[in-house]
Structure 1
């Protein structure tokens, strides 16, 4: 809190990331209500998510080169216009709807990337930086609890257009606030050596991002699988509560984890967190019992916070300081790709088999992420040796 712009970073960053969690839900509410088609709603959501995953690293790179304010303000303005256009085309054109959903996703500024970059560039003490990054993870998890719930509340009381409009208001306040309080107006355009090769060419980055895609499979499938199990058991009303409990363990573990001064390498912490997540998720399969599912849902979420904090710390160690916006955008993009694939795959699995079968997919996803993280160390070993030579 004593750091320059700490309060503005926390406040505007927290507000601006609420739509990160609620916009995909808001799109599903909007399209399914106005067009009466869950299929079109799913396609629209996929257009939104995938376009963001593809283009957000490019926008992050521009922010690194030309400064946060120079990029964040125009991108937010384009996003606002595209969102309003989407609300118009929802009644008029499917093609226009999908195109504008893609523009909205592509221009949505992932403010958690910008805030993590600001902390990393302004805090030299590693213990304080670890605490700041853990708070970022807690804010992310809190947004994913509040965002969907707020979208549902607004839908019930103000109609299907209100969640998307509310998300736009949160985004504009958060993005403009971060932009006007930014200090990197000149960017890092002159740091030529840091920008001579792509992020993916840096050793260990590819394996980290691939493991994050696998982790995203879990994030994309969990709510579908949990709701499917609740529905099959005739406890649909409890399903939403169970989904909301999933990040609870992560919030508390993230707070505790961030205030510990770790001497273990972040790469090892990341892999261990994934292994713990795999073990805890498999507990649901072992018992396969509705009476204990709430306990195991909370427990299986405990390792999420530490895993995401470690992943961001690991990425920070791998890339130059002048490329952090781009690097953190790649982290978010990898998770988004996994979430999109995971939600689609989980839906097919629970339709073809049953809800409990979806937990096999979730456990397999975390196991895959763990294995990729382990083998990633050896996979890039030759690249590191060559680079050092």
Structure 2
């Protein structure tokens, strides 16, 4: 076997010399190959586009903001229902066998959705189609995290795993931030330049092409080495432990923040007579957030994850309170920039802790659970905040991001208290090398 090629990450477990001598000295990029990174990034764009794209298409065709919000929420419900199931199937059968049919089904449903909406189908059919889109969402971001964590845990030297894990979680969170900015931005541009159906059609093409390419990439074959602790798959109930559910709750809070900020910012820009400016301002927050997310790797290791969670949640909450009181574009820009400084590092911290706490052989299930919570919260909050902005007040809508920040902060405090009480023996065997980083 030629161990210099990317596909050789599936080194036979019985070959101790090859497994321990050469592959563990290679870097993560040498294991994945350079092509993996752009493929994995573009593969997450359909997921970032579908919620907003469905909303805009339904509103444009039916003139009903209420139906649009319900349709967007249906996508989110489908994601959160199917996410843990898809994650469990991936942990059992591997990413390739699951992602190929799921990605193809999602592409087909996305391609059919404009026909359903524009064909005057009943509201129930529209909501059912949106739910099916969510149920088949491939969640490439969660799969990428799981795939990379598996490579790190089974192919890199133990002394390099902790630092590499932090760097990869920083990159993945920054990539998510960028995708969540580019996704809605592409939806707005394509809808304005071509037609409201165009974003969904483009998302279908990306799902067919790049999700399939991501699923078929050689890294999809990587599995934990037989004989390692990670090879002993924990039962599914282990994923629903308190230590992981607290991360799911915090990720739900971050999703609330995203949905509340985007929708309230759109309502604010509309009230100011410049609705098109909302996307640019939201992108400004996302870019700053992505940059600082990458900067988390520069923080000293003694700055434990539980304290990072609290500090950056406090920054997020205080900035969101300031955003609530903004009355013009200039002040909104300032508060959006500061909010970005808090949300990016929070995502890095939450997903890093999820990687450490994932039960043995359940990395994909854990990551999809967090990703599902993020998407569901964003979809539901967007629908609720849109209603609040129309039926209650703009000020009430702009207060939702602050509420989301408080939720993330309170859960961070609860996590810190629980971490101090937790005995060392409670740390899962798959995370012993990196557990010290979060204590």
Deviation at 1:116?
A: 1.0
Using the alignment, how far apart are the partners of 1:360 and 1:88 within structure 2? 37
Structure-2 change in CA distance of 1:350 and 1:98 (3 Å): closer
Match of 2:288 among 210, 230, 249: 249
Cα deviation, 1:217-239, whole Å, max 9, x if unaligned, reads 21111012122222333343433
Q: Provide TM-score, normalisation by structure 2.
A: 0.80
More displaced, 223-232 or 54-63? 223-232
Listed as ranges, the gaps of 5+ residues in structure 1 are none
1:136 aligns with 2:172: yes
Deviation at 1:345?
A: 3.1
1:171 aligns with 2:207: yes
Match of 1:181 among 213, 217, 232: 217
Match of 2:139 among 107, 110, 129: 110
2:388 corresponds to which residue? 349
Structure-2 change in CA distance of 1:347 and 1:30 (3 Å): closer
Listed as ranges, the gaps of 5+ residues in structure 2 are 1-27, 428-439
1:86 aligns with 2:86: no
Give matches, 1:350-389, under 5 Å.
350-378=389-417
Using the alignment, how far apart are the partners of 2:100 and 2:236 within structure 1? 27
Give matches, 1:8-23, under 5 Å.
8-23=35-50
Q: Is contact 2:231-2:361 (8 Å) kept?
A: no
1:5 aligns with 2:36: no
For residue 281 of structure 1, give the secondary structure of its aligned residue in structure 2.
helix
Using the alignment, how far apart are the partners of 2:128 and 2:368 within structure 1? 22
Deviation at 1:200?
A: 4.2
1:77 aligns with 2:96: no
Q: Provide TM-score, normalisation by structure 1.
A: 0.90
1:37 corresponds to which residue? 64
Using the alignment, how far apart are the partners of 1:182 and 1:270 within structure 2? 35
Q: Is contact 2:306-2:415 (8 Å) kept?
A: no
More displaced, 158-167 or 182-191? 182-191
Using the alignment, how far apart are the partners of 2:113 and 2:392 within structure 1? 36
Structure-2 change in CA distance of 1:28 and 1:383 (3 Å): same
Q: Is contact 2:76-2:380 (8 Å) kept?
A: no
1:150 aligns with 2:186: yes
Using the alignment, how far apart are the partners of 1:2 and 1:365 within structure 2? 36
Paired positions, count: 388
- Structure with the greater alpha carbon radius of gyration: 2
Using the alignment, how far apart are the partners of 2:325 and 2:110 within structure 1? 45
1:99 corresponds to which residue? 128
Deviation at 1:58?
A: 0.9
2:321 corresponds to which residue? 282
Give matches, 1:150-229, under 5 Å.
150-183=186-219, 185=221, 194-229=233-268
For residue 96 of structure 1, give the secondary structure of its aligned residue in structure 2.
helix
